[in-house]
């Protein structure tokens, strides 16, 4: 059926062109690596012995190193050391050390490279680095840990640091006897060495990529389970209650068993360790057999954390475990295939969550979560294709974004629905079996899925992964048919003809009273399709397709009615609202249209749909944040009017018998109505705050803690500021502390804004948490302006503290710029960065600017329309 799909226009791109990679004259087959961290000097000594196969006659070996001090280099041909002393040349730009010598290592022979070196246990959360926590006596304690992905293994030791250059590794760690030493494998031997220390040697790893290596040295507590075939353990520093790792521990054991069955592939390592690291740049990292986590993403105290925190922990654990097969056992060939790793792990964590917690209905939430993040970023001109050529190390970090994760998982969800979930899993099994311990390209996954399904998957999917953007499908109606037309969708709605050439195979999934017709595909620019009964129809049933649908205003109204009549699924209702909101924001429809649509949803019973409703009102209010106060107040009244009945109906007391979704539902409506000024909720929140202040720690339920704080700060400014700040300073868990720091910025008075802005760069806030105090400030215009001034004033320090190699500088830039809404503000941002290096965050910056531009146009276009609607509906 797919024979008429056009060739993907992007398919002729040569991804390898201009790629900075190592020469292929030698191939590492085994590393013997010894490391000895020193917690006084924050240096570590290292020795690496690399066994090499010589591929071509050669007189040099090039490998990656970064900020390493190399003391000695020896080259052996066979077992004989070469006589001339090798010359060392470092290329800073490509982060490579070239070892040159006079003798020729002949093709087909074996060789060995030995180097001794010193590295720094840095505090930048990259390579082999130090992380700190408070000891029981109040002193600062350290552990040494690693973060290699994507290109920082070279910062830890000299290596051939590319995902396709798989090798085996034998790791030895030298440390004080009292410290725990961990690596990817289990311990092979332990012996005493000089200075009363121990040398712990781990068993040889299977063939693996450098970015998945991990070593940890520190004082750690542990819990263990034997519920799985091999031991599973959770580790944390002594300042934590290790019992908070119980939930993740048990979930991990269950998940490993589930994946082994689903993938029909045994977990190949002898153990699975998961460690909570106090300083961690990402959320978690899938190192083979030794997964590292940010504390909040592994440890959970159900007594003080809400339902959404629990779901996040479950998601992260299941995501990293999925990588143990998808990513670790079978690895992308190069970083432009990153989406294979991240898109799949994302999809798989939803699949697995759905299997373990069906009552969470996570696939419903998928539509408001991953699908919207994907469509949102991908509606910007500065987005990129799922498969994007990356050449240099500093480009790689920037593609760990909503395109690789969310859009990647969306296209997998799309194809899994198209060929059927069972067939999809069968394809995945074949893929894992065929490529175990190897490297793949996207085509290899499509081939396995084609093999399993008998359909030409590559032909359908190539277009989706090789091109930027997605279509908006415009539907008009004739007597007994619908007319559909596809065009590229841009949030700035200024699509140029040359940007609108890709024709996607759009799976129309037409829902009518007779059910869903899965066979209709729009492959051309436009087409007509017969529909028996035009009284009710909707495209993109359950929003499995990666596109938006634009209906006529009359049809949209009818769909609103259909929603009330129970003709649409939860996914349909949420997705339809999201589409309407996005289309209004970009000028394809009028904003008054979405406001009217939302008004019809007052009686909506489902959490996920309300989540989307609230987020769409939030987008309007966000774009209008610099407009006059009367209009802003009117929008706020509209929000309150829309949600208050439901909020009061659900209430804000929590019982143990409340379902997972019910808890989140109550908590969301409580916060949203309260912040929109609901008097009853405000009074309840103040009451809780007073009790809390008086020492009753149970006065505020974890599910609404963040909202109660936010209400306190928004409506009483300084009254509870110190109370909440004190929570940050003293609360028992990271989740409680983060909740406090995240809301502080809600306080709007100039003095408090100033105070909040002292935190991000202070010693009180770890670099990993720099975004926490910034968040609250984005919720009001005073804060938005202050954030940007703060960035300008502190730029040099920010750059120093957040090296461009990490994703964090990009996040800070995006947090501090993307809330603006006018062209003048855009120019200010552009002007500032014109004189700066934007290396490592040029993508986030461009995306922020695009987003601002879209909002500026939106307000300009629909300012009057919104005012008229608000007046007609008595909000103004």
Structure tokens at 304: 């003080």
Decide: is 348 part of the binding site for Zn ion (CB under 5 A): no
> Is 345 one of the binding residues for Zn ion (CB under 5 A)?
yes
**316 vs 332 by CB, closer to ligand BES:** 316
Q: Is 317 in the site for Zn ion (CB under 5 A)?
A: no
Least separation in angstroms between residue 282's CB and ligand BES is 3
The answer to whether 623 touches 778, Cβ cutoff 8 Å, is no
Binding flag, residue 403, Zn ion (CB under 5 A): no
**Least spacing, CB of residue 323 vs Zn ion, in Å:** 6
Least distance to ligand BES, CB of residue 322, Å: 9
**First CA to last CA across the chain, in angstroms?**
54
Nearer to ligand BES, 315 or 612 (CB): 315
* Cross-strand bridge partners of residue 140: 134
Determine, following the binding rule CB under 6 A, whether residue 279 of this chain makes contact with ligand BES.
Answer: no
Closer residue to Zn ion, CB minimum distance, 345 or 710:
345
User: Active-site residue numbers?
Assistant: 320
Within 385-414, which residues bind ligand BES (CB under 6 A)? 400, 405
Cis peptide upstream of residue 147 (ω within 30 degrees of 0): no
793 appears as a binding residue in the annotation: no
The residue among 714, 720, 769, 790 whose CA lies nearest residue 745 is: 714
Alpha carbon distance 141, 357 (integer Å): 38
The reply on whether position 152 binds Zn ion by CB under 5 A is: no
Bridge partners (DSSP) of residue 73 are 115
Helix, strand or coil for residue 437? coil
Of residues 282-321, those binding ligand BES (CB under 6 A) = 282-286, 315-316, 319-320
- Give yes or no for residue 571 binding ligand BES (CB under 6 A): no
Reference 323, options 267, 365, 271; nearest CA is 267
Which of 123/526 has CB closer to ligand BES? Answer: 123
The binder of 149, among Zn ion, ligand BES, none, by C-beta within 5 to 8 A per type, is: ligand BES
Q: What is d(CA 623, CA 562) in angstroms, rounded to the nearest whole number?
A: 30
Strand ranges in 460-504 using DSSP code E only, listed in sequence order:
471-477, 481-488
What is the size of the binding site for ligand BES (CB under 6 A)?
17
- Dist CA 175 CA 198 (whole Å): 6
Nearest residue to Zn ion, scored by beta-carbon proximity: 345
Give the three-state DSSP class for 160: coil
Cβ nearer to ligand BES, comparing 416 with 768: 768
The answer to whether 323 is annotated as binding is yes
Dihedral sign computed on CA atoms, order 183, 184, 187, 190: negative
Query: Which of 155, 171, 169 lies closest to 121, judged by CA?
Result: 155
Examine residue 342 and tell whether it contacts Zn ion (CB under 5 A): yes
274 vs 710, beta carbon nearer ligand BES: 274
Please give the structure tokens belonging to residue 735: 């989740």
Q: Provide the token pair at 61.
A: 């070996």
316 binds, among Zn ion, ligand BES, none (CB under 5 to 8 A by kind): ligand BES
| Residues in 671-700 at the binding interface with ligand BES, rule: CB under 6 A | none
List residues bridging with 129 in a β-sheet.
Answer: 122, 145
Using CB under 5 A, count the residues that bind Zn ion. 2
**Residue with smaller CB distance to Zn ion, 247 or 400:** 400
Taking the mean position of all CA atoms in its chain, how far away is CA 862? 33
Listing DSSP states for 82-126 in one string gives: PSSPPEEEEETTTTEEEEEEEEEEPTT-EEEEEEEEEEE-BSSSS
Q: Binding string to ligand BES for residues 162 to 191, with x set by CB under 6 A, is what?
A: ------------------------------
457: helix, strand or coil = helix
By C-alpha distance, which of 358, 265, 283, 279 is closest to 320?
Answer: 283
Decide: is 553 part of the binding site for ligand BES (CB under 6 A).
no
Q: Which of 130, 323, 384, 748 binds ligand BES (CB under 6 A)?
A: 323
Residue 342 in the binding site for ligand BES (CB under 6 A): yes
Q: At what angle do helices 246-263 and 307-323 cross, to 10 degrees?
A: 40
Judged by CB, which is closer to ligand BES: 117, or 293? 293
Q: Of residues 423-442, which lie at the interface with Zn ion (CB under 5 A)? A: none
Determine, following the binding rule CB under 6 A, whether residue 231 of this chain makes contact with ligand BES. Answer: no
- 553 exposed, middle or buried (CB, 10 Å; 0-12, 13-18, 19+)? middle
The answer to whether the annotation marks 319 as part of a ligand binding site is yes
400 binds, among ligand BES, Zn ion, none (CB under 5 to 8 A by kind): ligand BES
Q: How far is CA 403 from the centre of its chain?
A: 10
Alpha-carbon radius of gyration of the chain: 28
Find the shortest distance in angstroms from Cβ 283 to ligand BES. Answer: 3
DSSP code at position 406: I
**Distance in angstroms (rounded) separating the CA atoms of residues 52 and 167:** 10
Asked if residue 161 binds ligand BES (CB under 6 A), the reply is: no
- Cα–Cα distance measured from residue 296 to residue 314, given in angstroms and rounded to the nearest whole number: 11
Q: Which stretch binds Zn ion (CB under 5 A): 4-12, 338-346, 602-610, 709-717?
A: 338-346
Where in 781-820 is the site for ligand BES (CB under 6 A)? Answer: 807
CB of 618 to ligand BES, least distance (A): 22
Residue with nearest beta carbon to ligand BES: 283
Q: In the complex with ligand BES, which residue's Cβ is closer, 308 or 512?
A: 308
284 contacts which partner out of ligand BES, Zn ion, none, CB within 5 to 8 A by kind? Answer: ligand BES
3-class DSSP assignment, residue 334: coil
Catalog residues that contact Zn ion under the rule CB under 5 A: 342, 345
Catalog residues that contact ligand BES under the rule CB under 6 A: 149-150, 282-286, 315-316, 319-320, 323, 342, 345, 400, 405, 807
**Residues of the binding site for Zn(2+):** 319, 323, 342
């Amino acid at each position: 059926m797919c024979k008429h799909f056009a060739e993907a226009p992007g398919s002729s791109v040569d991804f390898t062109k201009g790629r900075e990679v190592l020469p292929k004259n030698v191939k590492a087959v085994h590393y013997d690596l010894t490391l000895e961290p020193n917690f006084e000097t924050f240096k570590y000594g290292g020795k690496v012995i690399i066994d090499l196969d010589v591929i071509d006659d050669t007189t040099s070996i090039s490998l990656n190193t970064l900020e390493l001090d190399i003391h000695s280099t020896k080259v052996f041909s066979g077992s004989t050391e070469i006589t001339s002393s090798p010359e060392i040349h470092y290329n800073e730009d490509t982060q490579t050390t070239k070892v040159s010598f006079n003798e020729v290592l002949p093709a087909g022979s074996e060789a060995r490279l030995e180097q001794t070196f010193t590295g720094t246990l840095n505090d930048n959360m990259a390579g082999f680095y130090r992380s700190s926590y408070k000891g029981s006596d109040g002193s600062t304690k350290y552990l040494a840990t690693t973060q290699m992905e994507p290109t920082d293994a070279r910062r830890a030791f000299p290596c051939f640091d590319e995902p396709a250059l798989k090798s085996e590794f034998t790791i030895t760690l030298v440390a004080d006897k009292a410290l725990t030493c961990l690596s990817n494998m289990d311990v092979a031997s332990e012996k005493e060495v000089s200075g009363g220390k121990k040398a712990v040697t781990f068993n040889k790893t299977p063939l693996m990529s450098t970015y998945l290596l991990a070593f940890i040295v520190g004082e750690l507590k542990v819990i263990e389970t034997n519920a799985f075939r091999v031991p599973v353990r959770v580790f944390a520093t002594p300042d934590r209650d290790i019992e908070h790792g119980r939930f993740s521990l048990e979930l991990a054991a269950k998940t490993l068993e589930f994946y082994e069955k689903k993938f029909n592939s045994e977990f190949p390592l002898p153990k699975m360790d998961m460690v909570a690291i106090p300083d961690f740049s990402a959320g978690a990292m899938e190192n083979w057999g030794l997964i590292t986590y940010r504390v909040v993403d592994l440890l959970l105290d159900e007594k003080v954390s809400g339902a959404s925190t629990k779901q996040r922990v479950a998601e992260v654990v299941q995501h990293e475990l999925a990588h143990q097969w998808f990513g670790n056992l079978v690895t992308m060939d190069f970083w432009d295939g990153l989406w294979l790793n991240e898109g799949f792990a994302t999809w798989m964590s939803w699949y697995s969550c759905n299997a373990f917690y069906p009552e969470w209905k996570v696939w419903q939430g998928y539509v408001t979560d991953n699908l919207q993040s994907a469509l949102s970023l991908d509606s910007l001109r500065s987005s990129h294709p799922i498969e994007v050529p990356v050449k240099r190390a500093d480009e790689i970090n920037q593609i760990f974004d909503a395109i690789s994760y969310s859009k990647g998982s969306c296209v997998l969800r799309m194809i899994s629905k198209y060929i059927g979930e069972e067939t999809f899993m069968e394809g995945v099994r074949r893929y894992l079996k065929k490529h175990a311990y190897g490297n793949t390209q996207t085509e290899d996954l499509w081939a396995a899925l084609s093999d399993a399904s008998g359909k030409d998957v590559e032909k359908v999917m190539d277009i989706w992964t090789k091109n930027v953007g997605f279509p908006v499908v415009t539907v008009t109606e004739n007597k007994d048919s619908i007319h559909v037309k596809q065009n590229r969708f841009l949030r700035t709605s200024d699509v140029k003809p040359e940007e609108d050439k890709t024709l996607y195979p759009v799976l129309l999934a037409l829902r009518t009273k007779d059910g869903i017709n899965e066979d209709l595909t729009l492959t051309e620019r436009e087409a007509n399709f017969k529909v028996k009964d035009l009284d009710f129809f909707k495209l993109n049933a359950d929003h499995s397709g990666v596109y938006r649908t634009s209906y006529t205003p009359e049809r949209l109204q009818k769909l609103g009615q259909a929603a009330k009549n129970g003709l649409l699924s939860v996914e349909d209702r949420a997705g339809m609202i999201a589409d309407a909101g996005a289309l209004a924001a970009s000028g394809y429809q009028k904003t008054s249209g979405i406001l009217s649509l939302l008004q019809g949803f007052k009686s909506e019973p489902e959490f996920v749909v309300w989540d989307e409703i609230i987020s769409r009102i939030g987008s309007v209010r966000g774009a209008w944040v610099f407009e006059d106060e009367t209009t802003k107040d009117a929008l706020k009244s509209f929000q309150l009017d829309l949600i208050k009945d439901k909020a009061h109906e659900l209430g804000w007391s929590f019982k143990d018998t409340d379902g997972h979704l019910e808890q989140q539902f109550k908590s969301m409506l409580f916060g949203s109505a309260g912040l929109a000024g609901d008097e009853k909720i405000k009074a309840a929140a103040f009451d809780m705050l007073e009790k809390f202040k008086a020492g009753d720690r149970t006065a505020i339920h974890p599910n609404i803690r963040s909202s109660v704080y936010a209400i306190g700060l928004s409506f009483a400014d300084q009254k509870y500021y110190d109370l909440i700040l004190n929570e940050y300073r003293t609360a028992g868990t990271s989740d409680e502390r983060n909740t406090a720091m995240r809301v502080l910025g809600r306080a709007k008075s100039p003095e408090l804004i100033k105070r909040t802005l002292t935190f991000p760069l202070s010693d009180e806030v770890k670099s990993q948490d720099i975004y926490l105090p910034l968040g609250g400030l984005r919720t009001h215009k005073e804060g938005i302006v202050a954030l940007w001034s703060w960035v300008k004033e502190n730029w040099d320090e920010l750059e120093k503290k957040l090296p461009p190699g990490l994703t964090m500088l990009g996040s800070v830039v995006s947090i501090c710029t993307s809330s603006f809404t006018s062209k003048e503000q855009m120019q200010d941002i552009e002007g500032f960065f014109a004189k700066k290096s934007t290396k490592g965050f040029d993508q986030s910056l461009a995306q922020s600017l695009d987003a601002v531009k879209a909002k500026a146009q939106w307000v300009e276009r629909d300012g009057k329309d919104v005012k008229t609607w608000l007046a007609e509906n008595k909000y103004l």
